[in-house]
Chains A and B, each alone.
Chain A
Amino acid sequence: MATEPLTEQAGLQGPAAWEQEAEREHVHGLGPWRLGLRRLRRNRVAIGFGVLFVLLVLSCLAAPLWAKHVAHTTPTENHLSDTIKLDGKTTNVVGLDGVPIGPTYQGEFFLGADPNGRDIMVRLLYGGRNSLMIGVVAALMTTILSVVLGVIAGYFRGWPDLTIRSLLDIMWSFPVLILGVALGVALALGGLQLGPITIGGDSLLIPIFIIGLVYVPYMARPVRGQVLALREKEFVEAARAQGAGPLRIMFSEVVPNLASTILVFFTLLIANAVLLESALSFLGAGVRPPNPSWGTMIDEGVDRIATAPHLTIVPGLMLVLTVLSLNVFGDGVRDALDPRAKVRLEH
């Protein structure tokens, strides 16, 4: 971490020979952050997708506005027997045979309706809030747990390390999705009791908890590895030589050096968490109806793929767009800051 990793990232780089010579006399070099930012800014695609992600988040946050002022409905309001004027013709929102209308591209039912006659656009935005919320909070949970565990294991070594590492190794042995599913099934009924806090089985906190947990090994292991490397750095020895205690060393010497890794992981974790949420929901072990999320919407839609393909395609595209924007942006951030961070995914 100490020397700037000159990476392969598109564009500028010196060959190995040059780096070797340059390595030792790096006068007035750029700081890792500045360098990262500069690289990132050059990566227009990544920036573009980053902006797209922000737009997606903003539009999901604006869901109530759309619902109230454009669609004139709520995410839960049924329009089973309603009709709507389309090109002057009166059309059932839901046909007698249960087939809902497709996209109208007008204010109401912009992206069509679901079998309950609910406005897909409205549900899409509200569902996005849930999906994104789960993604962000779960990623946050993973990050915090991983950093705490990784730092403790990497810094103290010995038995705390052995314990944490074994635990992570064991968790690592489970396929992400199956571990998620197992937890989902275990928690579906009674919910979770964490000390005095009880979380109901259909609470959104359950998928957050599950997703936040299953990715811990994927982040904690690299963090631990990095802490192990950092702890051998002379500046950590220097701090110890000056009498700094373990806590101070961890927080003021080690953790700041993890910042770029954390940032990279966080972005990519959100993407994976959103994706895992959809998979768990699809399997019935994630978000429980009636809470909408993109995963549950796809799950509901797949059954009507022949008569109402928009039910599957629309939330799926939204999901892909969101995850893709995070992945591209995250990839850009990684290339700019920490080219070696890797996240494994579910199947």
Chain B
Amino acid sequence: MGRFIVRRVIQMVLVMFAVSVLTFLIFNVIPNSDPAVRMSGRQASESTIEAIREEWGFNDSLPQQYITTMEKVITGDLKSQFTQLSVGKEIVKGLPRTFSLAIGAALLWMFVAICFGLYSAVKAGKFADRFLTIIALIGISMPVFWIGALANYYLGFKLGWFPNGGYVEFTEDPIDWFYHLILPWTVLAILFIGFYSRVLRSNVLDTINEDYVRTARAKGLGERQIMIRHVLRNSMIPIVTLWGLDFGAVLGGGAILTETVFDLQGVGQYTAEAIGQLDVPPVLAVTMFSAFFIVLLNAVVDILYAYLDPRIRLQ
């Protein structure tokens, strides 16, 4: 197990390196325009562009450029071209909000999806299953920003059942924090519930047909025990990986749309604003940052997974 963890961590670091290279390539190599011009944003003078070119080393060789860029990212020297604020600081400032959104939503979607998926699988082919299937598919067919905007306006403003967007620090008022996050959690979770319950349903149906479930039944175990101890646990294993990816993505600011619609001002919304301004450094940083989160979460999940599924450790 120890060796497995060490190996996994080394792998994680390598992937992070590759991720940073790819991000660098996206912003500095793919585009068909002078990166300095793009980087300089609005109303840039020749001298500003020249200064940026100098600062980012756009005249240097690619590896040198990469090193320059990474130096900026790592030392926190990366500044928004638009506000001159440190991108790192802004991300750190947004993290509590993003984490609040991500953790609550992830718990919510996991819990509901497990209930839905399991119920759907148990009732496979029956009305309840078909109903839940359609509900789930509607869930994954709705653009988050659309349902979010509607919910925010109608439930938040018109009916006043929920706060009209915004965020309250947990330390300030935990109840208000919770109250402000109910809608965002729900909206973000809707899509995942739809998707996860479908995946879980099919996993459960696969698992139910496994020989060892038949063995469990032949042992005289109750249906509930079979479902929980044998079916659910085994069906959950592939979902944990998926969950790691998605949770990592949301933690890393992937919930751009939800954060924006509900004005949570987390990392995602920070990115969204940077996109609107074509402010390259924040987008670059968040892209890298969110991928790092996924890679990290992936490694954590793999280690967890090895714990859950002893077969993995040997491979």
Across the interface, which residues of A come within 8 angstroms of B93, CB to CB? none
Asked whether A324 and B141 contact (CB < 8 A) given A193-B32, A347-B257, the answer is yes
Partner-binding segment picked from A108-116, A121-129, A178-186, A250-258 = A178-186
CB-based nearest B residue for A7: B205
- Do A177 and B37 touch (CB < 8 A)? no
Name the residue on A nearest B149 (C-beta). Answer: A302
CB neighbours (8 Å) of B246 from chain A are 344, 347
Q: Is A320 a contact of B141 with CB atoms below 8 Å?
A: yes
Q: How far is the CB of B100 from chain A (nearest CB, A)?
A: 16
| In contact, B137 and A324 (Cβ under 8 angstroms) | yes
**How distant is A205 from chain B, measured CB to nearest CB, in Å?**
13
Give the Cβ gap from B281 to chain A, nearest Cβ, in Å: 11
Which residues 262-304 of B have a CB within 8 angstroms of A?
271-272, 274-276, 278, 280, 283-284, 286-287, 290-291, 294-295, 298
Query: Per-position contact with B for A262-297: 1 when CB-CB < 8 Å, else 0?
Result: 000000000100010011001111000000000100
Q: Please, which residues of chain A bring their CB within 8 A of the CB of B198? A: 331
Asked whether any CB of chain B lies closer than 8 Å to the CB of A9, the reply is: yes
Residue B235 lies at the interface, judged by CB distance under 8 Å to chain A:
no
Residues of B within 8 A of A188 (CB): 278
Q: Are B137 and A328 in contact (CB under 8 A)?
A: yes
- A170 near B191 (CB under 8 angstroms)? no
Residues A118-176 near B (CB distance < 8 A):
166, 169-175
Q: Say yes or no: is B242 at the interface (Cβ < 8 Å to chain A).
A: yes
Q: Is B18 an interface residue (CB 8 A)?
A: yes
Is B68 interfacial (CB 8 A cutoff)? no
Which of A16, A166, A183, A347 contacts B26 (CB under 8 A)? A183
Q: By the criterion CB–CB under 8 Å, are A327 and B140 in contact? A: yes
- Asked if B161 CB lies within 8 Å of chain A CBs, one says no
Chain A CB within 10 Å — which of B199, B205, B258 has the most?
A: B205
Q: Confirm or deny: B221 has a beta carbon within 8 angstroms of a beta carbon on chain A.
A: no
A170 touches B19 (CB 8 A): yes
Determine if A298 and B26 form an interchain contact, defined as CB atoms under 8 angstroms apart.
no
Asked if A28 CB lies within 8 Å of chain B CBs, one says no
Residue A229, interface by CB 8 Å: no
In the complex, which of the residues A184, A192, A283 has the most CB atoms of chain B within 10 Å of its own CB atom?
Answer: A283
Listed stretches B44-52, B56-64, B75-83, B124-132; interface member: B124-132
Return chain A residues, CB-CB under 8 Å to B294. Answer: 173-175
Taking a contact as CB atoms under 8 Å apart, the answer to whether B145 and A279 are in contact is yes
One digit per residue, 1 when the CB lies within 8 angstroms of any chain B CB and 0 when it does not, for chain A 317-328 equals 001100110011
A170, B15: Cβ atoms under 8 Å? Answer: yes
**B188 lies within 8 A of A347 (CB):** yes
How long is the Cα–Cα vector from A282 to B312 in the complex, in angstroms?
Answer: 41
B177 within 8 A of A: no
Q: A177-B256, A282-B257 are in contact. Are A312 and B146 (CB under 8 A)?
A: yes
Q: Using Cβ atoms and an 8 Å threshold, which residues of chain B touch A313?
A: 150
- Measured between beta carbons, the chain A residues less than 8 angstroms from B255 are 347
One of A9, A179, A184, A279 near B257 (C-beta < 8 A): A279
- Name which of A175, A179, A275 has the most chain B CB atoms within 10 A of its CB: A175
Query: What are the residues of chain A within 8 A of B124 when measuring CB–CB?
Result: 8, 10
CB < 8 Å neighbour of B283 from A17, A185, A331: A185
Taking CB atoms, residues of chain B closer than 8 Å to A181 are 256, 271, 275, 283, 287
Taking CB atoms, residues of chain B closer than 8 Å to A328 are 134, 137
Say yes or no: is A45 at the interface (Cβ < 8 Å to chain B): yes
CB pair B144–A279 under 8 Å, yes or no, is yes
> Is A244 on the interface with B (CB-CB < 8 A)?
no
- The chain B residue sitting closest to A193, CB to CB, is B32
Closest to B279 in A: A185
B18 to nearest A CB, angstroms? 5
**Known contacts A339-B202, A347-B144; is-contact A182 B150 (Cβ 8 Å):** no
When distances are taken between beta carbons in the complex, the residues of chain B under 8 Å from A8 are 121, 124-125, 202, 205
* Chain B residues, Cβ within 8 Å of A320: 138, 141-143, 146
Report Cα–Cα, A339/B138, bound state, in Å: 19
Closest beta carbon of chain B to A130's beta carbon, Å: 16
Closest A residue to B283 using CB positions: A185
Q: Which residues of B contact A342 (CB under 8 A)?
A: 199
In the complex, A340 has a CB within 8 A of chain B: yes
Q: Does B254 contact A (CB under 8 A)?
A: yes
Cβ of A316: which chain B residues have Cβ within 8 Å of it?
A: 143, 146, 150
Given the known interface contacts A181-B283, A347-B250, the answer about A189 and B33 at a Cβ–Cβ threshold of 8 Å is: yes
Q: Which B residues contact A (CB, under 8 angstroms)?
A: 15, 18-19, 22-23, 26-27, 30-34, 37-38, 121, 124-125, 129-130, 133-134, 137-138, 140-146, 149-150, 153, 157, 188, 191-192, 195, 198-199, 202, 205-206, 209, 211, 214, 242, 245-246, 249-250, 252-258, 260, 271-272, 274-276, 278, 280, 283-284, 286-287, 290-291, 294-295, 298
Ranked 8 nearest A-B pairs via Cβ: A190-B33, A175-B254, A175-B249, A190-B32, A10-B125, A324-B141, A323-B141, A8-B205
Give me 26 A-to-B residue pairs in the complex whose CB atoms sit less than 8 angstroms apart, sorted by A's number: A7-B205, A16-B209, A166-B18, A170-B15, A175-B294, A177-B256, A178-B249, A178-B254, A178-B256, A178-B286, A191-B32, A192-B32, A279-B143, A282-B143, A283-B275, A298-B145, A306-B157, A309-B153, A312-B146, A324-B137, A324-B138, A339-B202, A344-B245, A347-B191, A347-B192, A347-B255
Given contacts A183-B26, A298-B143, A344-B246, 13 further A-B contacts (CB under 8 A): A10-B124, A10-B130, A11-B125, A15-B209, A16-B214, A19-B209, A174-B287, A175-B249, A282-B145, A298-B145, A309-B153, A324-B138, A347-B255
